[in-house]
Amino acid sequence: MNSFDDKNEKKSNQFTIMKDDPIDGHPGYSGGGAISLENMSPLVVDPNEDKVWVDMGAMHARSEVEKRIKFVTEKEEVPNGKPYWIVWVTVERGEEGPYYHGVAASYLEVDREARRGYKILAEHVNRMDKSLKGRIVVDQMDDHSKTLLGDFLKEFNEDYWKNAADELKQAFV
């Protein structure tokens, strides 16, 4: 007879985001496998309302835009969807000070009335990874959304913008 219960199995499969490295300085551990999302912030770009804002809920697919929405992977199932972009922004510190290190945008559509939305979760996860690795992925954004995002990044912190790589600045020209 197996005394293993399903409740324990679920608990052991949880993913934990570690704020600080708990094994920092310990000679027996390399720290491999632990990632820090401490320097990442998700932005929401709403091109219909000409708005951009920081929404930390997006880290767990719980942004204001995503709440109470059932997401599907077929765009046709959301015919009246309103477009949004979740943009993963990573900040690092260099010799000149903090700077925008990675910026990667993920598309979604939401029909609030129907409580349906379209997004590809794997794309969102991959874009988070690209941002963490310092990549700039905004070329798929429409011009208006990209302009809103670029203006927000410049205004949010001029030093972060000034210290950012030319590649990032050129992506918004």
Tens digit of pLDDT for each residue in 33-64?
A: 445 667 899 999 999 999 999 999 999 899 99
Residue type, 147: T
113-131 in b/e burial notation, b at 16+ Cβ within 10 A? eeebbbbeeebbeebbebb
Note whether 138 and 172 are within 8 A (CB): yes
Which residues partner with 86 through β-bridges? 44, 106
- Asked whether residue 129 carries a pLDDT value surpassing 70, the answer given is yes
- For residue 59, the number of C-alpha atoms closer than 13 Å in the C-beta half-sphere is 14
CA-based nearest residue to 47, from 128, 151, 131, 129? 151
* Best CA proximity match to 46, nearest among 142, 156, 160, 158: 142
Question: Residue 165 pLDDT > 50, yes or no?
Answer: yes
- What three-state secondary structure class fits 147? helix
Span 153-173, average pLDDT: 95
Is the pTM of the predicted complex or chain greater than 0.85?
A: no
Strand partners, 84: 108
